[in-house]
A = this chain, B = another copy of it.
Amino acid sequence: MEHGAQKSSSVLQKKYRVLVGVTGSVAALKLPLLIAELLKITGVEVKVVTTERAKHFYNAQEIPVTLYSDEDEWQTCVIRAWDLSKPLLFCPAMNTAMWEHPITAQQVEQLKGFGYTEIPCVVKKLVCGDEGQSFCMSSDSSCTSAALILKGCTFFCRVALL
């Protein structure tokens, strides 16, 4: 018990560093909300790496943390050089036709095969009018999953994957 309490205390004092990657999907409009939710977690330091296309969907003024712009595939390089001893979460979000294309399942399986963790998307009414797969920000899904994995160590969370 004593040992467990010490360990828990040590975990709480540890600083968690979260890098959020965001790409050009409509789901990127949820970025300010995601950042706000992450910053509510004690001991979390958040930074964002964004593609130029993703900026179309949110207001950079609403992001209160360091924002690295990705003009030249920098985000891809970060993932290519990811230390796999640290968790990487990915949150696919896309139009139904994209989601149902057989290459999507192949790509999701490949990412999971690398040891990445999928935060499954939910079906909802999309901006384009179709029903579709979207990144869900409800309190009982994505952020909770993220918080649970945070109890481990630093992770990379990709809001949308084209």
Contacts and interface: CB of A to CB of B under 8 A. Distances in A.
Nearest to A53: B72
A80 B94 CA distance: 11
B81 A101 contact: yes
A126 to B, nearest CB: 12
B95 A81 contact: yes
A109 to B, nearest CB: 13
Interface residues of A, number: 18
A102 interface: yes
A115 B103 CA distance: 11
B102 A82 contact: no
Contact of A114 (B84, B94, B102, B113): B102
A103 B107 CA distance: 13
B83 A97 contact: yes
Given A82-B97, A84-B97, 16 more contacts: A77-B162, A80-B98, A80-B101, A81-B95, A81-B98, A81-B101, A82-B101, A83-B97, A84-B100, A84-B101, A84-B102, A101-B114, A102-B113, A102-B114, A102-B115, A103-B114
6 tightest A-B CB contacts, nearest first:
A81-B98, A81-B97, A83-B97, A102-B114, A81-B95, A80-B98
Interface of A: 77, 80-84, 94-95, 97-98, 100-103, 113-115, 162
